[in-house]
Structure formats: C-alpha cells, structure tokens
Amino acid sequence: MSHERRVEELERLPRLGGLFVRGAVGSATKRPGGTVRLPEVAYRVAAVDTTGEAAHLAAYQELLGEPSSDVLPAGFLHVLVFPLATAVMVRPDFPLPLLGMVHLRNVARVLRPVRLGERLEVRAWAQDLRGHRRGAQVDLVAEVSVGGELAYRGVSTYLAKGFRAPDASGASAGGDPERPAWQPPMPTARWRLGGGTGRAYGAVSGDQNPIHTSALGAKAFGFPRAIAHGMYTAARALAEVGPARRGDAYEWTVEFFRPVLLPGTVDVAIRPVADVADAPADGGFVYDGWRSGKDTRHFTGTVTPL
C-alpha cells in the first residue's frame, strides 16, 4: 500500500450476495453533492485456504476456456478477491454508491503462479479518488500474498457519475480525455454469446447483479436487455491468449467502452503487440472486442509477460 491504512481483520472472505443487498440499501443514502473522501482502511483475510476451490476452478476454466490446471489464472484470482474489494465499497463511510457504478478498467499483475491448495493472504482497499469528466473515479485494489510474497495485484477503476472528487490541489479535476476514433482490425475470433451468458458467469463469479442476469434488472438501469459482465469478456480474451504465451508472470489490462448486450455477437482480434501501431506495451498481445459487423467497440486490453 502506498501509505499506512488502518487494517481491519476479517475471518473469511465475505459472500457477494449479502454485500449486494447492503450496497443496494446504502446506495440510496449516497447522493452527489459536496466533495467526497475515502475511508483510510484496508480489509485483510490472513488465511484463505484454496484447497476447497477445485470444483469452483474447474467450472471457471470450462466456462472461460482456460485449460485444466492447478494454476489460478488472473481472472480467477479476480473472482476470488472481488468480494473483499466489494466489502470496502459497501462500508457506510465509503462515499460512492455501489449501484450505478461504472466499471472503467482493470490492471492485474501476476508476479508468480498461485496454485490450488496454497494458503493466501488477501488485502483490499480503495485509493486515488480523482476527477472524471462525468463524475468521480476511484481505484479498488486487491492483493494476494503467498508465504509473505506478493503474488497478485489487481486494480479495478470505477466511475460514480455526478460525484465530485478533489485533485491534489483541492480543485475539481477534469478527468479522462475523450477517446480517439477507432477502426476495427481484422477479427481473429467471433464469440456468439447467448442470453444466459450473464447467469453462467454469475454462477462462477458470484456476481449476480441483475443487469447481467435479467432483462428487467437491466432495464431498470437504462439497458434494453441484460449485458455481459465486463470481466467475463476480459477473462475470455485472457484465456484465448493462453498460459503458454502469457507465461508464469504477466500483466493483464482491460479498458471498457460500450457494454455487450445479450444475446449478442462479438468480433475479437488478438494480435502480437509488434503488429499494432501505437500499442501501449513493448511485448505481449493486444486484444479488442467489438459488435460484429459494426464499429461499436466494447473493450480493449493487453496481456504482457513480465
């Protein structure tokens, strides 16, 4: 962590279902207005035993297309630690509402393989509240250590529309610049996602947010029908790069643009960085996903061996 936070110990990783209920209730009390501050606290679970995760891992691997292995891919590690980060977001003193938060991007680094059966220390906290042209954005950080060695670090960035965050000088920050124009590359794959994709990923991730599992739930938030989990699309791209090409240690990034409506068809391009002009890394792979036959971009990201 960049500076000291009060550490609160939890006996076990919480369950997402109860957290979403708390988040829904708490969201009603969190309204835009005034400058917001983050709680200076980190949650810690000292010993997460992964021995019992074998069936969970196998279900994840089958759904996402990861090969059978006792190594936990970054997408599964995200699933494992996401409840602890969510617990931070549903605290009464967390100033932004869980409902309606927009997932902007993720950066995850696997520093050494994490294997089924290892005991993990997991920490999570919120940091870097800052401005965005549409509100306030915040990073939720989750770390996994094995035997005192940092093995995984994931940073998820969210946007709360209409809220205000100070920059370093105390003034309201301007936020991210507008995204440049984009043209679809030649696709390397086509994903046909059925209407049950959100429910299937919800079953392995625990994220049963109704915008992903129900047309009615999605319509309540302005979507014409259910949308795919962003992390499902990113994790599927990570799986298609594959363990052999990403290596034992790697960085995995994703930036989200427009959601994928379900059912839907997504064209995907996974290309070596060397083949991409203005790519954001020196090696590895770049992936993009867009609506089939259109130039509606859904996501982009990188997988870079470390």
Instruction: Please give the structure tokens belonging to residue 152.
Output: 């995984």
Is 232 in contact with 79 (CB distance < 8 Å)? no
CA atoms of 226 and 195, how far apart (whole Å): 8
DSSP string of 203-238, one letter each residue: HHH----HHHH-HHHHHTTT-SS-B--HHHHHHHHH
Q: What is the pLDDT of residues 52-80, one digit of tens each?
A: 999 999 999 999 999 999 999 999 999 99
pLDDT band at 172 (very low <50, low <70, confident <90, very high): very low
User: What are 235-283's pLDDT values in tens digits?
Assistant: 999 999 999 999 999 999 999 999 999 999 999 999 998 877 666 666 7
Q: What does the pLDDT read at residue 173?
A: 45
- Does position 1 have pLDDT exceeding 60, yes or no? no
Instruction: Give this prediction's pTM.
Output: 0.91
Query: In the predicted model, what is the mean pLDDT of residues 26-47?
Result: 87
The percentage of residues in the chain with a pLDDT greater than 70, rounded to a whole number, is 92
**What pLDDT is stored for residue 236 in this prediction?**
98
Residues 223-230 have a mean pLDDT of 94
pLDDT-derived band at 123 (thresholds 50, 70, 90) equals very high
Q: What is the mean pLDDT of residues 108-136?
A: 95
